[in-house]
Structures are given as C-alpha cells and as structure tokens.
C-alpha cells in the first residue's frame, strides 16, 4: 500500500505545486484538497476563515480530538526552475515554502488513518490559508475554529532545507520567534544635490537611525535573551541629482517574549524620534505585531518525539533543537490550544531539497512525503490509543 501511496502523494504535491495561490485566494487549492478528503470518506467543512477547511475522521467512541494542520498558501515569487516538469503555471506565484508538500503529507495521513482506523477518537485535518501573511490562523479562529471543532491538542510541521532528509527536530518551549514589522518615515527638506546646505538630508539622518538601531540588541537587551532587528527596505523620493525630502525605512524584528517585544518597540521609537529631533525634522514610527512566537507545550513533546522515532528511528530525531528566529503562523494556534511543531529535514544538498525556503529555485523534496504522512498518522495512533 505504501508504494502506491507514495506515488499518489507525489502526484498530489506536484499538482498543487503547479497551481499556487497566495493568501486568502486559495480557492482552487481548497477545492482540490476538499475533493480528495471527500473521496476518503471524511466529513468536510469549508469556508472557515475564508478559504480554510476542516475535515473530521472519527473512529470508535473516544471523546478526545487532535488537530493536524497544513498551510495552503504560496508566495508572490516567479519560479526559476528551467526543465522542472511541474513548475508553476501561475505567473509570478510559486510554492517557494513547501506548503504544497505540507498539504500532501496531511492528505497522506488522512488516507492512512481512514484505511487503518487504528485510533480511538477524532482527528481533525485543518487546512489553513494565508500563513505567509500571519493572518490565516487568526482568521480561522475568529470564524470559530476551536469552538466548532474543539481539539485537545494541535500538531504541525515545516520542511527544513539544510536538514538531512527525513530527520526530525523539535523542542519544548519556544522553537520559532515572533515577527513584528516597523515603518519609519523621515521627513526632511529636499534640495539640489549640488547645494545640500539648502535642505535637510533625510538620507544621512536615516542612515544614522539604521546604525543606531543595531545597538538595541547589543546594548539594551540582556545577552541571555534573543532578538533580531533587520532594516530591509530603504526608500527615497530623490533622484541622482536631487537630495530627497522623504526616506522610509522598513523592516522587522524577531523575539520570543512580550517583554522583549515591548523593549524593542520602545527603544526603536525613542532612537528614531530622538535622532530626527536632533536634526529638526519630523519622524513617524509605526510598529505592528504580525506573528506570535511558536511555543511548544512541554506536555506534548514526548508524543511528537516518540512518533518521529517510530517513523524515522531514534538517531533521526533531535528532541532539543536550537530555537530559530524564523516565524510561523502556527504560533497563534498554540496560544489557544496546546500542541507541538516539528521540523522535517527536506535535504542537505541543493539537488535534493537543500535550496533555501523563499528562493525562486526551491522545490519540496518528494522523498520526504511518506515520512511526513506516516509521522502525522503515528501521532493519532499514539495520542488517541485504542482502549
């Protein structure tokens, strides 16, 4: 059966890869996934948080329920993969983060569990829109996800290029950081590039701000805590011979606690406003919270580790991985219900899964599909044992 399933997983995954849709636009993706789940005999509920869906599988008389979550959205990236037979058919969009593979693994787990029926209780297969925005989990919960489909615990996974294929990594506590976004607008006075004394140069002021922001982590934050401040965009309304009137700095911060988030926001605002005041120019500062940190529940570490070991072997599982500063919308779910998130190795060589996430040449490694499907199915068997 598994050899047949492997072919089906690959077919599902490559179909989804060719038809990427971005956040809250996953209409065809949702249709395709729902169709597969219905053929497996599952009860499917649509339109949760927009394009999200939940499929239920109940076996036996057990009262407990778990959620297995997959993200559905793609990215606005033009795929660069000459010769790839299943490359994106939607111009300017691609599955550059592997959500096509995540969906296929959860579909595979649904098929395994529907056929084996080796658990007692309810498994809810949760397909979430708009993970890349950091909006989809909140949209589903605002639509009554856990009131309509309560779970005792929720589990998720993400493929990880650079990790050996079919290996697992997880930990108790924080595993991925929050993401906050910021926009700093410096309003100077433009002038001719040959007569800088006639204006107030916002590029020089903005440059001072960028450099000063880097002192927050090194000089204001306890060295035992983690944070990152990254300025990622520097936008002006000048041209080659014109000193601009306006500069906009955009970027994001990563951290693991509300206290650190507050420190970063406070010091960034003080530095930006203070430097601008020194130069006699206006400054506006915006700071928004996009992703919650992903904090695994200690009580669900063992079941995740044991499921991974049963599938991949003890040596293939890291039960105390170093926390990463990337962010994931799954963190919002873990603020509402307990659970666990794991990384599954996508491959450590470029030709077989090692191309970085969000790269125009990235592709999900089909060799790990069965491992992921078996892992999620094993979670149900362990967490909802037959009495």
Confidence of residue 301 (pLDDT cuts 50, 70, 90): very high
Query: What gap in Å lies between CA 369 and CA 374, rounded to an integer?
Result: 9
pLDDT digits (tens, 9 = 90+) for 359-371: 999 999 999 999 9
**Which of 291, 309, 329 marks a domain boundary?**
291
133 is in an annotated binding site: no
**Start-end of H helices in the chain:** 2-18, 27-39, 99-116, 136-142, 145-148, 202-219, 258-279, 301-312, 330-334, 369-383
CATH number at residue 205: 3.30.70.360
Are 151 and 44 part of one and the same domain?
yes
Query: What gap in Å lies between CA 89 and CA 20, rounded to an integer?
Result: 8
Are 270 and 365 part of one and the same domain?
no
Are 94 and 112 part of one and the same domain?
yes
**Which of 239, 265, 291 marks a domain boundary?**
291
Range of the domain at 222: 178-291
Laid out side by side, the sheet with 339-347 consists of 43-48, 52-59, 121-128, 65-71, 153-161, 339-347, 168-169, 317-318
The answer, yes or no, to whether residue 299 has pLDDT greater than 70, is yes
The answer, yes or no, to whether residue 211 has pLDDT greater than 80, is yes
Of 2-6, 15-19, 363-367, which gets the smallest average pLDDT? Answer: 2-6
Structurally, the chain folds into a number of domains equal to 2
Confidence of residue 33 (pLDDT cuts 50, 70, 90): very high
Are 157 and 187 part of one and the same domain?
no
The DSSP secondary-structure symbol of 97 reads S
Are 303 and 157 part of one and the same domain?
yes
User: What is the pLDDT at residue 3?
Assistant: 65
Are 18 and 152 part of one and the same domain?
yes
Are 63 and 156 part of one and the same domain?
yes
Query: What gap in Å lies between CA 237 and CA 225, rounded to an integer?
Result: 38
Are 212 and 161 part of one and the same domain?
no
User: What is the pLDDT at residue 387?
Assistant: 81
158 is in an annotated binding site: yes
pTM of the prediction? 0.94
Query: What gap in Å lies between CA 367 and CA 9, rounded to an integer?
Result: 10
Average pLDDT of span 29-55: 98
Are 136 and 204 part of one and the same domain?
no
Are 153 and 186 part of one and the same domain?
no
The answer, yes or no, to whether residue 351 has pLDDT greater than 90, is no
CATH number at residue 86: 3.40.630.10
pLDDT digits (tens, 9 = 90+) for 257-290: 999 999 999 999 999 999 999 999 999 999 999 9
Are 185 and 36 part of one and the same domain?
no
The answer, yes or no, to whether residue 2 has pLDDT greater than 70, is no
Q: What percent of the chain has a predicted confidence (pLDDT) above 70?
A: 99
Query: What gap in Å lies between CA 168 and CA 139, rounded to an integer?
Result: 29
192 is in an annotated binding site: no
Are 39 and 114 part of one and the same domain?
yes
132 is in an annotated binding site: yes
The gap from C-alpha 147 to its chain's centroid, in whole angstroms, comes to 24
Average pLDDT of span 149-165: 98
**Which of 275, 291, 307 marks a domain boundary?**
291
The answer, yes or no, to whether residue 372 has pLDDT greater than 70, is yes
């Amino acid at each position: 059966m598994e050899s047949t399933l492997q072919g089906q997983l690959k077919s599902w995954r490559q179909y989804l890869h060719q038809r990427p849709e971005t956040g809250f636009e996953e209409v065809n993706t949702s249709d395709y996934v729902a169709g597969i789940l219905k053929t497996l005999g599952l009860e499917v509920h649509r339109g949760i948080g927009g394009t999200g869906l939940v499929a239920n599988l109940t076996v036996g008389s057990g009262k407990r329920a778990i959620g297995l979550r997959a993200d559905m959205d793609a990215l606005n990236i033009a795929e660069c993969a000459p010769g790839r037979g299943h490359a994106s058919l939607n111009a300017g969009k691609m599955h550059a983060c592997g959500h096509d593979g995540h969906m296929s693994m959860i579909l595979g787990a649904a098929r395994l569990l529907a056929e084996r029926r080796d658990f007692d209780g309810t498994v809810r297969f949760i397909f979430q829109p708009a993970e890349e925005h950091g909006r989809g989990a909140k949209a589903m919960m605002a639509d009554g996800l856990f009131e309509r489909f309560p779970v005792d615990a929720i589990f998720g996974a993400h493929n990880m290029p650079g990790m050996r294929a079919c290996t697992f990594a997880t930990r108790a506590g924080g595993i991925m950081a929050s993401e906050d976004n910021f926009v700093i607008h410096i309003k100077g006075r433009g002038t001719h590039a040959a007569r800088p004394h006639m204006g107030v140069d916002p590029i020089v002021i903005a440059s001072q701000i960028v450099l000063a922001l880097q002192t927050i982590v090194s000089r204001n934050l306890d060295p035992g805590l983690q944070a990152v401040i990254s300025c990622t965009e520097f936008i002006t309304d000048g041209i080659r011979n014109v000193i601009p009137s306006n500069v906009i700095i955009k970027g994001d911060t990563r951290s693991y606690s509300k206290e650190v988030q507050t420190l970063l926001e406070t010091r960034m605002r003080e530095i930006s406003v203070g430097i601008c005041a020194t130069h006699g120019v206006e400054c506006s500062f915006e700071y928004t919270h996009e992703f919650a940190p992903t904090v695994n529940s200690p009580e669900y570490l063992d079941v995740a580790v044991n499921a991974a070991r049963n599938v991949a072997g003890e040596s293939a599982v890291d039960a105390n991985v170093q926390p990463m500063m990337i962010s994931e919308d799954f963190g919002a779910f873990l603020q509402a219900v307990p659970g666990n998130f794991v990384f599954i190795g996508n491959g450590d060589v470029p030709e077989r899964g090692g191309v970085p996430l969000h790269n125009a040449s990235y592709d999900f490694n089909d060799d790990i599909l069965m491992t992921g499907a078996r892992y999620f199915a094993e979670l149900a068997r362990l967490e909802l044992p037959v009495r």
